[in-house]
Amino acid sequence: MSFTRFANVLQTNVEIQAFKYVQEIAEAMTNEAKEILETQRYSWQPLSQGYWEWKDRNNLDTRILIATGFYQEHISGGVEGGKVWWGVEDIVHEPSGLDLKFLARIHEFGYGHVPARPLWRPLLSKYIRLSPQFAKRYRREVERAARKAKALHLGSAKKVKVRL
């Protein structure tokens, strides 16, 4: 294997590992955001009694930020251009007619009589703290890819020596 081939194999393996790394982060953050809503893990300010009763009368889910499940169902994440994106989809929240991103900001920071019920900021802070662990795993995978490319390179080099 020529050095150029070796470098190309190494680069391809590193790019694959980088994609896996950021994809894993996007999936973990997306799944955890949905799980937090499902289990009501955060200690948000409770719903007002009147709103809770209205949700109950209208056969809506009485958990915080769930009502119809639309918000939770439209949390997504992925990788684009090597960067992680994560949040709510850019669509209209059908039950209210509001832009879903606008509704998410209302709940995140509060607005008028709606108290702040942060989901995204605490979760992002958690993943920033975890990033060294993700980076360590990524580094191990890149080192493994380098060893694999080196073994392929040395293996073909041995074959060349035998032929001489």
Which comes out higher in pLDDT, residue 107 or 147? 107
pLDDT range class, residue 7, cuts 50, 70, 90: confident
Report the pLDDT value the prediction gives residue 154, as an integer from 0 to 100.
Answer: 63
Mean pLDDT computed over every residue of the chain: 84
Asked whether residue 157 carries a pLDDT value surpassing 60, the answer given is: no
Higher per-residue confidence, 89 vs 146:
89
The pLDDT value given to residue 121: 93
Question: Of 137, 135, 138, 142, which Cα lies nearest the Cα of 11?
Answer: 142
Per residue in 16-56, pLDDT (tens digit) is 777 777 788 889 999 999 999 999 999 999 999 999 999 99
Compare 94 and 80 and report the one with higher pLDDT.
94
Contact call for residues 127 and 28 (beta carbons, < 8 A): yes
Q: Report whether pLDDT(161) > 90.
A: no
Which pTM value belongs to this model? 0.75
Given a cut of 60, whether residue 84 has pLDDT beyond it is yes
Q: Is pLDDT larger for residue 156 or for residue 13?
A: 13
Q: Is the pLDDT of residue 69 over 80?
A: yes
Q: What pLDDT does 153 receive?
A: 62
Long-range residue pairs from 70-78, CB within 8 A, at least 24 positions apart, any chain: 70/94, 70/95, 70/100, 71/37, 71/100, 71/103, 71/104, 71/107, 72/34, 72/37, 72/38, 74/100, 75/30, 75/33, 75/34, 75/37, 76/30, 77/26, 77/27, 77/29, 77/30, 78/23, 78/26
